[in-house]
Amino acid sequence: MAHQAVTQLTQKDYKAALQPVWCPGCGDFGVVAAIYQALAKLNLDPDRTMLVSGIGCSSRLPGYVNTYSFNAIHGRAIPIATGIKVANPELTVLAVGGDGDGFAIGTQHFVHAARRNVDITYVCMDNSIYGLTKGHVSPTTPTDEVTKTSPYGNIEAPMNPVLMALACGATFIARSFSAEVKTSVEVIAQAIEHPGFAFVHLISPCPVFRGRQQFDRVKERVRRTPEGFDFTKREQARAIAFEDPNEQITLGLIWRDQRAGYIARQQVIRGKAAAKGTPSYEGLLHSFIPDFGAVGAGR
């Protein structure tokens, strides 16, 4: 359950004093604007909200948001966010980062967080390139794309993040585009409210290393989920996951499943263990460290 602020906050209240240093035209400006608005829409208490990132241009984002934050090491935003959430389930926890961070070195963490249905929101800002390290091929760079490390065209096939999320058991999957801030606010707010692993694939162009044409190509292909689309129907979600991004890119909520989240399942297990007289982790800790304090006492 997300904690709300005592007073009604506005998006300005979530802006940190630190100013973004992204290049002019970077899609990440649209993403951070959407995050400010989504947090304000839910009126989340900044003192009970946590943003975690890895390494990359987009991983600077938590520093620009007035909540608690943790800038982790490359590819490790998700396991650190998982630990934070499991240790303190009352926090609202978001992990953010780019396609290189999330789908190269961090792939295994994505797979297992989705499978476990950990109650965090993961926003992947996908620019299909490594921007911070100056423009080399990433796991989502399209085939034949010319980059600094593929001067004759990328020979690899790109990863499909939405299809992967579906295959790994994510219970909430949405997609947006950095220029579509209204859609981004809507899906990020829904993701935060979702009990379980919520994945937002947020296409966020890099004009410096993918050129203006990347933005233009996405802009002319995006559409909202069509009239009558049912995000609870797996075959409909699968059809969107398999669509060819060279022809069409569908934005909005793509898939939602009601499978119980990790925290709810953990509470059930704790209840079963307590009924059998098994000491809780906190109780054990207190027995070893009597000064541990009120956290362990009485459990």
Cα→Cα distances 139→31, 62, 81, 159, 167, Å: 21, 23, 22, 6, 17
Residue 101 makes contact with ligand SF4 by CB under 6 A = no
CB neighbour burial string for 7-40, b if at least 16 within 10 angstroms, e if fewer: eebebeebbbeeeeebeeebbbbbbbbbbbbbbb
CB closer to ligand SF4, 28 vs 186: 28
Determine the interface stretch with ligand SF4 among 106-114, 169-177, 205-213, 263-271 (rule: CB under 6 A): 205-213
Residue 272 to residue 69: CA distance in whole angstroms: 34
User: Do the Cβ atoms of 249 and 223 come closer than 8 Å?
Assistant: yes
| Contact residue for ligand SF4 among 2, 5, 16, 23 (CB under 6 A) | 23
- Biggest CA-to-CA distance, the chain: 66
The footprint of ligand SF4 on residues 52-91 (CB under 6 A) is 57
Residue 102 or 296 with smaller CB distance to ligand SF4: 102
Q: Between 22 and 255, name the residue whose CB sits nearer to ligand SF4.
A: 22
Smallest gap from residue 111 Cβ to ligand SF4 (A): 25
Stretch that binds ligand SF4, among 70-78, 190-198, 203-211, 221-229 (CB under 6 A): 203-211
Provide the minimum distance between the beta carbon of 31 and ligand SF4 in the complex, in angstroms, as a whole number.
Answer: 10
CA quadruple 75, 187, 137, 247: dihedral, nearest 10: 150
Written as one letter, the residue type at 253 is L
75: its two tokens: 């590819």
In this structure, are residues 160 and 167 in contact, taking their beta carbons and an 8 Å threshold? Answer: no
Report if residue 127 touches ligand SF4, rule: CB under 6 A.
Answer: yes
Interacting residue with ligand SF4 among 26, 32, 51, 72 (CB under 6 A)? 26
- Is residue 143 within 8 Å of residue 154, measured between CB atoms? yes
126 sits near ligand SF4 (criterion: CB under 6 A): no
Among 75, 100, 106, 131, binds ligand SF4 (CB under 6 A): 131
Give the angle subtended at the CA of 206 by the CAs of 113 and 26, to the nearest 5°: 95
Q: Which stretch binds ligand SF4 (CB under 6 A): 162-170, 174-182, 206-214, 272-280?
A: 206-214
From 116-124, 200-208, 237-245, 256-264, give the range in contact with ligand SF4 by CB under 6 A.
200-208
- Interface residues with ligand SF4 (CB under 6 A) are 22-23, 26, 28, 57, 127, 131, 206-209
